[in-house]
């Protein structure tokens, strides 16, 4: 056991060194140290592989080695280590983590294009999780995300063209003709589909394709969103309405942490695949990231959570759009909807049961996030208003 | 601590200080701890530099790492135990408390940590519930766990000492 312990501790030390190199910006050194750590941790796992009773040591070392292998892009090795761990007798919680890790390994494989050739104005979206089988998924899980991605593409295109935020009405026909969004036939990966933006002959950006610029912008903003880099995102999208709209739509596309674990996007630039994996659960998006304006330091307003039927939406006053949510007991609650949320995020939930988080602003309640109420959300009681 | 190198400890501490300053706190802030045992932790750190801010720009990752660092301090203070082992998991490590001996991960207590950059009591409660649910299965098979959820805007922490 001492030999195993020495190998494991050497691996952990090498990972510390790899992280330090990454923080210095020395990615080459970081990757090289990570490979050395993988060799040591794999050797530690190998040393206990034959002893099925040596739990939880056996499964933890395998999980650890598999995680390093996944980070290093050694997917086949990660898969082998996870499967070998599961053949043993891991405790149920570690077995569950091993299965989650296996999903990530497969998802990484599915992010790769596997023979699909993407043009510069296309990108692939893949989803994975318990709601997704090989080439099959629940329609609402999938269609809602497709719809949000389409909205995001048009909003991003309008923003890049410096058009004022469109609070009401559909995308202008002329604009839609210029930048039509096409969807491929879904294919078996985890569950994947390609989006293609029509080539605009009218709109060019310094000789670059406008569609390519829009795709790049969406994927880069997804990456910032996934890392919760709120300030960077606000700098990138300074218009509060566009900002609120982006984070609201990105949150609706992000994994729910239960049925959908990862949503990935792949595009191709100069012949190389570029991947963004959205892993930030909807429930873990920091609330301060979701508010239209940054909260003042130390002045966090009180929050209110309301569950009920979204029964009323009034967008007649663009400066003060509001909704009413009717809880099962008590009076309907009026909530102000910030610009950027009504059309794309609130309206699709009209006449359904929702869970709303709002912040108090004087006498008003201002909407921060709204989600469909799931069947198992009976612990989400409304808080007193 | 045998399972926590100085390098790894520094990363957790720096990540925590970036998150605390992001939430407008200054050195000397008190973290109110509740859960199994009420407690207060006073945290001090050197002012965060621009370089550190850039290094921990991924606030999602920094929140998890920083919460882990504060949670470890809280558990050490409450149980008198130290981190003896760790292994690679997710975007960081998982940690194990107990006595140092030759039995790697055997008879050790697992430490389950989670971080919230900015959330209210109900978010903390939900996260603790999720974590307890996650470790409940292992408690039947003999792997006890400590659960810690740290919220940075308070700042506050809930530490539940399991079985």
Phi, psi of A41, deg, nearest 5: -70, -35
Question: What span, in angstroms and rounded, lies between the C-alpha atoms of A265 and A255?
Answer: 13
- What's the distance, CA A281 to chain centroid? 7
Interface mutation vs chain B, best among A286, A291, A356, most B CBs within 10 Å: A286
Give the up-direction half-sphere exposure of residue A379: CA atoms within 13 A in the CB hemisphere. Answer: 7
Q: Nearest-CA distance from B85 to chain A in Å?
A: 9
Interface mutation vs chain B, best among A284, A297, A305, A381, most B CBs within 10 Å: A284
A139: number of Cβ within 10 Å: 7
Q: Which two tokens stand for residue B118?
A: 């900015």
Q: What percent of chain A has pLDDT over 90?
A: 35
Interface mutation vs chain A, best among B50, B60, B92, most A CBs within 10 Å: B60
Question: What span, in angstroms and rounded, lies between the C-alpha atoms of A378 and A371?
Answer: 14
Mean local confidence (pLDDT), B25-50: 94
* N- to C-terminal Cα separation, chain A: 59
Distances (CA, A) of A328 to A304, A331, A332: 16, 9, 9
The shortest CB-CB distance from B102 to any of A2, A11, A63 is to A2
Nearest Cα to B89, choosing from A62, A191, A204? Answer: A62
Question: What span, in angstroms and rounded, lies between the C-alpha atoms of A216 and A143?
Answer: 22
E strand or H helix that includes residue A42? helix A27-48
pLDDT digits (tens, 9 = 90+) for B48-98: 999 999 889 888 889 999 999 999 999 999 988 999 999 998 878 889 998
Contact check, Cβ <8 Å, B7/A20: yes
Work out the pLDDT band at A113, boundaries 50, 70, 90: low
CB-CB neighbors (< 8 A) of B18 in chain A: none
Nearest Cα to A195, choosing from A130, A253, A138, A242? Answer: A253
Q: If you search the block for the tokens 């050490």, which residue do you land on? A: B76
Neighbouring-strand partners of residue A131:
none
The shortest CB-CB distance from A4 to any of B104, B119, B137 is to B104
Q: What is the pLDDT of residue A378?
A: 41
pLDDT digits (tens, 9 = 90+) for A312-369: 777 666 667 889 999 988 888 999 998 888 888 898 888 899 999 898 888 888 898 8
Mean local confidence (pLDDT), B22-38: 93
Interface mutation vs chain B, best among A17, A44, A228, most B CBs within 10 Å: A228
Question: What span, in angstroms and rounded, lies between the C-alpha atoms of A63 and A101?
Answer: 8
CB-CB neighbors (< 8 A) of A226 in chain B: 60
Is the sign of the CA dihedral A296, A301, A307, A308 positive or negative? negative
Q: Nearest-CA distance from A271 to chain B in Å?
A: 28
For residue A374, is the peptide bond before it cis, meaning its omega torsion is within 30 degrees of 0?
no
Prediction pTM value = 0.74
Nearest CA in chain A to B133: A93
Q: Coil, strand or helix: which one is A45? A: helix
Mean local confidence (pLDDT), A207-230: 87
Q: Is B78 exposed, middle or buried (0-12, 13-18, 19+ CB in 10 A)?
A: middle
Nearest Cα to A152, choosing from A179, A112, A132, A118? Answer: A179
For residue B155, is the peptide bond before it cis, meaning its omega torsion is within 30 degrees of 0?
yes
Nearest CA in chain A to B95: A60
Q: What count of CB pairs under 8 Å joins A to B? A: 110
Q: Which two tokens stand for residue A318?
A: 């663009």
Report chain A's mean pLDDT, rounded to a whole number: 84
Whether residue A96 contacts residue B137, with contact meaning beta carbons closer than 8 Å, is answered with yes
Q: Coil, strand or helix: which one is B152? A: coil
DSSP A234: H
Q: What percent of chain A has pLDDT over 70?
A: 84
CB-CB neighbors (< 8 A) of B144 in chain A: none
Task: Collect all residues with Cβ–Cβ distance below 8 Å to B54 and sequence separation of at least 6.
Answer: none
Work out the pLDDT band at A309, boundaries 50, 70, 90: very high
The shortest CB-CB distance from B60 to any of A65, A280, A297 is to A280
CB-CB neighbors (< 8 A) of B89 in chain A: 63-64, 67, 97
Task: Collect all residues with Cβ–Cβ distance below 8 Å to A316 and sequence separation of at least 6.
Answer: none
Say which range, A105-109, A263-267, A294-298, has the weakest mean pLDDT.
Answer: A294-298
CB-CB neighbors (< 8 A) of B103 in chain A: 1, 57
Long-range Cβ pairs for the range A45-48 (8 Å, 24+): A45/A81, A45/A84, A45/A85, A47/A3, A47/A4, A47/A7, A48/A4
Mean local confidence (pLDDT), B120-142: 77
Q: If you search the block for the tokens 């991924």, which residue do you land on? A: B58
Q: Which two tokens stand for residue B112?
A: 């389950």
Contact check, Cβ <8 Å, A23/B55: yes
């Amino acid at each position: 056991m001492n030999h195993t312990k020495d190998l494991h501790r050497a691996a952990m030390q090498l990972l510390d060194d790899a992280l330090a190199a990454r923080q210095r910006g020395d990615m080459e050194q970081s990757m090289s140290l990570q490979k050395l750590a993988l060799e040591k941790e794999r050797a530690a796992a190998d040393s206990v592989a034959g002893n099925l009773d040596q739990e939880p040591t056996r499964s933890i070392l395998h999980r650890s080695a598999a995680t390093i292998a996944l980070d290093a892009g050694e997917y086949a090795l990660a898969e082998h280590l996870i499967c070998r761990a599961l053949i043993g007798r891991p405790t149920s919680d570690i077995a569950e983590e091993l299965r989650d890790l296996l999903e990530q390994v497969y998802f990484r494989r599915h992010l790769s294009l596997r023979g699909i050739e993407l043009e510069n104005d296309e990108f692939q979206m893949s989803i994975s999780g318990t709601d997704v089988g090989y080439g099959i998924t629940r329609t609402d899980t999938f269609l809602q995300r497709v719809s949000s991605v389409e909205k995001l593409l048009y909003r991003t295109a309008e923003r890049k063209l410096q058009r004022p935020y469109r609070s009401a009405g559909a995308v202008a026909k002329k604009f839609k003709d210029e930048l039509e969004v096409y969807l491929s036939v879904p294919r078996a990966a985890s569950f994947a589909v390609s989006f293609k933006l029509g080539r605009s002959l009218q709109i060019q950006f310094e000789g670059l394709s406008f569609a390519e610029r829009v795709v790049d912008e969406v994927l880069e903003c997804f990456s910032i969103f996934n890392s919760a880099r709120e300030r960077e995102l606000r700098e990138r999208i300074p218009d509060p309405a566009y900002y609120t709209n982006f984070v609201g739509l990105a949150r609706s596309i992000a994994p729910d942490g239960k049925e959908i674990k990862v949503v990935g996007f792949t595009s191709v630039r100069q012949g190389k695949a570029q991947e963004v994996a959205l892993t930030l659960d909807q429930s873990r998006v920091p609330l301060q990231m979701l508010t239209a304006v940054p909260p003042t330091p130390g002045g966090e307003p009180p929050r209110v959570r309301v569950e009920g039927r979204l029964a009323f939406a009034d967008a007649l006053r663009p400066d003060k759009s509001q909704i009413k949510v009717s809880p099962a007991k008590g009076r309907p609650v009026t909530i102000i909807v910030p610009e950027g949320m009504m059309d794309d995020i609130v309206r699709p939930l009209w006449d359904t049961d929702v869970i709303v988080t709002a912040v108090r602003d004087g006498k008003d309640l201002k909407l921060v996030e709204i989600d469909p109420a799931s069947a198992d959300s009976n612990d989400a009681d409304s808080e007193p208003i | 601590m045998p399972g926590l190198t100085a390098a790894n400890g520094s990363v957790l501490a720096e990540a925590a200080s970036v998150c605390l300053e992001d939430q407008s706190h200054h050195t000397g802030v008190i973290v109110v701890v509740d859960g199994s045992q009420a407690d207060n932790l006073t945290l001090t750190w050197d002012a965060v530099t621009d370089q550190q801010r850039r290094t921990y720009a991924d606030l999602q990752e920094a929140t998890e790492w920083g919460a882990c660092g504060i949670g470890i301090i809280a558990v050490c203070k409450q149980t008198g135990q130290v981190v003896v082992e760790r292994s690679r998991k997710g975007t960081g490590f998982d940690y194990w408390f107990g006595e140092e001996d030759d039995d790697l991960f055997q008879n050790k207590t697992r430490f389950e940590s989670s971080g919230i950059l900015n959330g209210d009591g109900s978010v903390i409660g939900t996260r603790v519930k999720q974590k307890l649910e996650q470790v409940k299965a292992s408690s039947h098979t003999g792997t006890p766990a400590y659960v810690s959820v740290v919220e940075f805007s308070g700042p506050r922490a809930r530490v539940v000492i399991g079985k």
